[in-house]
Every structure is written in structure tokens, then in C-alpha cells.
Amino acid sequence: MSEGRTGPGPAVLLSLAESREAEPVRSAWIGPLLALGTRLSRKSESFSGQQLIVAISVPSHEFAAVLVGSGWTLGRPPTQTTTDPLTVLRPASTEGHYRAVNAAYVISGQFQGLDESRGSPRITLAGRWSIDRFVAIAPTAEQDPAERMPRPVIGSIGRMSGIARDWEQRLVAPAADLAIIGTKSWINQDLEAVLARDDDADGDAIETLLLPKTERSATWFTRIYSSSGFADQLPLPDDLSLAILDGQGAIKYLNDILVPIVVCIFDRSVADETAAEQVVQLRNSRGEPVSLRDQLGWSAPAGVEAFAFTVAL
């Protein structure tokens, strides 16, 4: 495979392995898909009152949505910068829910008290803990499905993107503004893939980068919806900034998605053209074209087509 560029700077080839046990494959189309998500993540505020729709077509749906989504989560900063436990908890009320990270776990629950009577302060949050074990704490709007989960570890991609530096902040206060709609079982398969820079040995599972919300989540970055039952799941929560519609089955719901940025991923191996016609029609009737090259500094790799436009929301 020829060397590829993900943007200005030295050429970097990312590798993708379908699981931890599999052989990684380095290819020129991986980095640009990740980069699309990251470029978009910097633009989430740029289109107020409008919706930015990016349509890309790929030879087959595999990994495309999770790569774009991972790029997005990499680029979205944590929602809290102050996560020092005592600073956050001293003024806290016992009505609130909080997330906390220590060496081994992410904890999530209702805050039930801070006990500073002894030398080492103790906090009651889904259990009783010594506060100096916690590296970061932040409030959360809703209860998480689980009280405890093993703390995800970040490796190669964390270093490459810089998120290793504020990983704990991201765990307790994630932007969590991404939704992916598609064939759930295929997406779940893609989550097992491992992404690495060059031939780094400590690649990151896509599942760690996307951190999907499941019943075992004490924190999460992404909500994943199945397109087959999707009509009954509408309307989507209104705290989303990006919706990725993975495949023609999901793209059919474009008119029902009122999220500021939408990425439509067309699978060219599927013959159904009606979704493409729908998007082209929308662009022609109500859309203002946007040049991905000029406004996002992003070029589609060989085998990928892309266009973008805004519509008034």
C-alpha cells in the first residue's frame, strides 16, 4: 500500500487489526477516516442555526463509522477542567451524581457525603473510598447504568493524539455528544478492532476510543442505535453534536435527525440508491455546498467520495 497523508505534517500510516489477536494491516485509508472525525470535532460550534451534513461513500461499510467516530471523540475536550476531587466535592450536594476515577476503576453514583473528620478524607460514592485514591471527579447529569467499571487504559493513539495527557478528565467528564446509528451487531464487531500508530505494540481498541454506552458503563462517550428499530427510538437526545448514520438504512432517517453535524456513510457495495438520492435532493433544494478541502483541510483518500453542505435547521 502506498504511503498516505492524513494532513499537513510527516506521513503517518495507521494500522488496524480486527482484534487483539489478529495481524495489524497498515493502510492509507485508515488515517483520513479518523482525521475526518477529528477535523469535524473542531467545528462543532461553527455552524449555529445550521446543520452541517457530510456525505461520504466507501467501498464497504466496515470500520468507517467507528473510525470517524473515534476521530471525533479524540478531538472533543472534556467538559470540566477542574476535576480535583476535594475542590469538586467540598461544595457538592448529596443530590448530585458524580463520576470518579482511581487506579483501577471508574466509579459512578450518587454522592452521599464527604467525611473530613479523619486525617485522610473519605467519600461515600457507590461505596466508601479514601479520597486520595481518586485522580479525578466530576458531576454527571444522569445516573450511569453501572456503578463501577474497570478503568480503560489508553495507549498508542492516546499518545499520538495527546489525549493521554487528560485521559482521566475525559473519563469523568466526557463530551459524550456522539451517536452512531447503524447495524448494531456490525458496529459491535468493529468495536473489537485495534488501532495503532505505525507498528506501536500498544494499539487501542476502538471500544476504548469510542466508549459506547452499555449496561456495564460507569462512564461513556458514545450512544449506539440500531437502524432497524430506529423509528421507535426517535427523537434523539438533544445533547448530541454529531450523529453518524452508518449505511443506507440509517441515512433514510436523515430528515428526523436534528443534530448540528451529521455524517452519512454510504456503503457502495449495497445497491440501494434511494438514500443517496434523498441526500442529493436535500443538498440541491436547501443546501449550501461546503468544500471539505478548503473549510476542513480534509481530502478523501482513494476509494472514498465525499461532499458536504449546510442546511438551515
Residue closer to other proteins by CB (options 6, 83) is 6
Please state the closest distance from residue 268 (CB atom) to other proteins, in A: 4
Taking the least distance from each CB to other proteins, the nearer of 174 and 249 is 249
Q: Which residues 6+ apart lie within 8 Å of 182 measured at CB?
A: 61, 65, 224, 225, 226, 227, 244, 245, 246, 247, 249, 250
Q: Are strands 194-197 and 178-182 parallel, antiparallel or unpaired?
A: unpaired
Q: Measured from the CB of residue 221, what is the shortest distance to other proteins in angstroms? A: 23
Instruction: Please identify, using beta-carbon distances, which residue of 138 and 191 lies nearer to other proteins.
Output: 191
Considering the complex, what minimum distance in angstroms separates the CB of residue 72 from other proteins?
20
Least Å distance, CB 169 to other proteins, is 32
C-alpha cell at 117: 473528620
Closer by beta carbon to other proteins, 87 or else 269? 269
CA distance 148 to 142: 15
Query: Rule CB under 8 A: which residues touch other proteins?
Result: 1, 16-18, 22-25, 27, 29, 55, 57-60, 62-63, 183-186, 193, 226-229, 231-232, 234-235, 249, 252, 266-274, 276-280, 283, 289, 291-293, 299-307
CB of 59 to other proteins, least distance (A): 4
- Tell me whether residue 151 or residue 283 sits nearer to other proteins (CB atom): 283
- Minimum distance from residue 230 beta carbon to other proteins (Å): 9
CB-wise, 218 or 254, nearer to other proteins? 254
Q: How far is the CB of 269 from other proteins (least distance, A)?
A: 4
Contacts of 265-273 with C-beta under 8 Å, sequence gap 24+, read 265/56, 265/57, 265/58, 265/61, 265/64, 265/65, 265/68, 266/55, 266/56, 266/57, 266/58, 267/57, 267/58, 267/60, 267/61, 268/57, 268/58, 268/59, 268/60, 269/59, 269/60, 269/61, 270/61, 272/248
Q: Which residues contact 240 (CB under 8 A, 6 or more apart)?
A: 177, 178, 179, 223, 259
Smallest gap from Cβ 103 to other proteins, in A, equals 33
Contact 211, 69 (CB under 8 A): no
DSSP 8-state symbol, 138: E
Is the separation of the CB atoms in 196 and 20 below 8 Å? no
Residue whose C-alpha cell is 426517535:
234
Measured from the CB atom, is 31 or 85 closer to other proteins?
31
Nearer to other proteins, 8 or 229 (CB): 229
H runs (alpha helix) in the chain:
30-41, 64-75, 85-89, 156-161, 167-172, 184-190, 206-210, 248-251, 274-286
